Structure 1
Amino acid sequence: MANKLLVLQSDFGLVDGAVSAMIGVALQEDPSLGIHHLTHDITPYNTFEASYRLFQTVEYWPEGTTFVSVVDPGVGSSRKSVVALTKTGHYIVTPDNGTLSYIKQNIGIEAVREISEVENRRRNTELSYTFHGRDVYAYTGAKLASGHISFDEVGPLLSVEDILELPVVETQLENNRVCGAIDILDVRFGSLWTSITRDEFYSLTPEFGDRFEVTIYNNDMLVYQNQVTYGKSFADVRLGQPILYINSLYRVGLAINQGSFAKAYNVGVGPNWHIEIKCLGD
């Protein structure tokens, strides 16, 4: 059941009135809503990043919280507009364009409904095709968060299996190495967050203070190779030194103590950025 909390995410930034318009639409529906912001600095059009930031955040909000995520490169096209009910009891209002991938894979989705734009679109916006974030998503999210509509009233049920999912890089495990992808950055600090889970990394039976050979490729091009210490946190190595650690989502991270790993080595993110962690001496 919705709890009057509405959390917004987009790639709009805050340099114009787009986010403010979404807030206004929500408050017109219910001035008592608690409106909060996940981020509006998603890289433009990057649905993978939108998916990851939801996964990073959703479970830490009270059950019944409604999230509106608008990263919508297909706005005005035939892509569906949906609301997902997660297995943790949260609602996510979003285009069906891959944004739900990480939620489905890591948290679980109980049900998905297609937004009926006949019932759940702001009046007199039918001829506007480029700002569904305001006219459909913020509006529907506010109606749901306020309890003015139920989940059943969002629109018809869709198959959870049929929602669009982005491709996932499978972790490769061998006796002395583990390989995955660099999913995303801890943006402010430039740390790399990989797709390798703590459990997968622990197949190498690491101990704090152990050193591993870390290799990063962009497709087949070698970008970085060095011996890196595994530690609990950044202070376990000297300033400017690299460190392997387990991040707050129980994924392997790679950082520089008080520096940006991404900037230092010009490392990007995505399925073409591969990372290999290898035990030394093998």
Structure 2
Amino acid sequence: MSNKLLVLQSDFGLVDGAVAAMTGVALQEDPTLIVHNLTHEITPYNIFEASYRLFQTVEYWPEGTTFVSVVDPGVGSARKSVVALTNKGQYIVTPDNGTLSFIKKHIGIKAVREISEVANRRNNTELSYTFHGRDVYAFTGAKLASNHITFAEVGPKLAVEDIIELPVVETVIEENFVRGAVDILDVRFGSLWTSITRDEFYSLKPVFGERFEITIYNNDMLVYQNQVVYGKSFADVRIGQPIIYINSLYRVGLAINQGSFAKAYNVGVGSNWHIEIRKMA
């Protein structure tokens, strides 16, 4: 059962009325809903980033919370609109375009239903093909969050194994190094968040204060190589010095104390950005 909490995410930004329109549609459905914003600063069209931000956030919200995530470069196409029920009892309203990838892999999905747009679309919007965030997702999310519909009334059930998933970079673990990808940035501070989990990194038996050789490639081009200290937190190194650490999602992070690693070395994110952590001899 939903709990009247509705959390919105998109790549719309706040420079125009798109997010306010979504919020207004939700409050028209139920003025007592409590509407929060996860972020509306997802890089335009970046489904991977949308998926990651949900994973970063969803499990810290109470059971019954409804999330609406609209990063939808395929709007108006044949892609499905769905609601997923997580293993922890939250609902996620989103296009079936890969946005659910990290939730499925790391939190788990109990069930998925396709949104029936006959029943769960705002009236008189049938000829609007480019703002499903307002007309379908915010509307359906608000109906679900306010318990005006049940999960079963969203639409027909889909097989969880059939939802679209984004390709992932598998971690390579060998005797003296691990290799993964730079998944995403801690945007405001420019730290790199990698795909390498704490447990994978700990196969190297690291000790705080130990140095590791860090190598970053963009495809096959060497972008960065240096010896970097492993620490608990940024203050374990001098201001301006790099550090590897375990971030709040139990992934390996790479940062500069009071600086932006991404800007300093022009490092991007995605499956073409590889990072290797090698134990020093």
With normalisation by structure 2, the TM-score equals 1.00
Which residue in 1 is equivalent to 2:37? 37
Q: Deviations over 1:143-202 (max 9, x none)?
A: 000000000000000000000000000000000000000000000000000000000000
Cα deviation, residue 22, structure 1: 0.2
Which residue in 1 is equivalent to 2:222? 222
Q: In structure 1, the residue corresponding to 2:194 is in which secondary structure?
A: strand
Cα deviation, residue 9, structure 1: 0.1
**Aligned-partner residue type, residue 268 of structure 2:** G
Between the aligned partners of 2:268 and 2:164, the Cα distance in structure 1 is 24
Cα deviation, residue 244, structure 1: 0.3
Is 1:55 aligned to residue 55 of structure 2? yes
Which residue in 1 is equivalent to 2:166? 166
**Aligned-partner residue type, residue 57 of structure 1:** T
Which residue in 2 is equivalent to 1:118? 118
Which residue in 2 is equivalent to 1:66? 66
**Aligned-partner residue type, residue 175 of structure 1:** E
Which residue in 2 is equivalent to 1:264? 264
Between the aligned partners of 1:261 and 1:83, the Cα distance in structure 2 is 37
Gaps of 5+ in 1: none
Q: Deviations over 1:26-61 (max 9, x none)?
A: 000000000000000000000000000000000000
**Aligned-partner residue type, residue 106 of structure 2:** N
Between the aligned partners of 1:220 and 1:83, the Cα distance in structure 2 is 39
Which residue in 2 is equivalent to 1:152? 152
Cα deviation, residue 2, structure 1: 0.3
Between the aligned partners of 2:218 and 2:53, the Cα distance in structure 1 is 23
Q: In structure 2, the residue corresponding to 1:264 is in which secondary structure?
A: helix
Q: Deviations over 1:57-105 (max 9, x none)?
A: 0000011000000000000000000000000000000000000000000
**Aligned-partner residue type, residue 237 of structure 1:** V
Cα deviation, residue 259, structure 1: 0.1
Cα deviation, residue 235, structure 1: 0.1
What RMSD in Å do the two structures reach over aligned CA positions? 0.2
With normalisation by structure 1, the TM-score equals 1.00
Is 1:108 aligned to residue 105 of structure 2? no
Between the aligned partners of 2:16 and 2:279, the Cα distance in structure 1 is 50
Q: In structure 2, the residue corresponding to 1:93 is in which secondary structure?
A: strand
Q: Taking every aligned residue pair, what percent have the same amino acid on both sides?
A: 84
Which residue in 2 is equivalent to 1:83? 83
Q: Deviations over 1:107-158 (max 9, x none)?
A: 0000000000000000000000000000000000000000000000000000
Cα deviation, residue 255, structure 1: 0.1
Cα deviation, residue 275, structure 1: 0.1
Q: In structure 2, the residue corresponding to 1:103 is in which secondary structure?
A: helix
Q: How many residues align?
A: 281
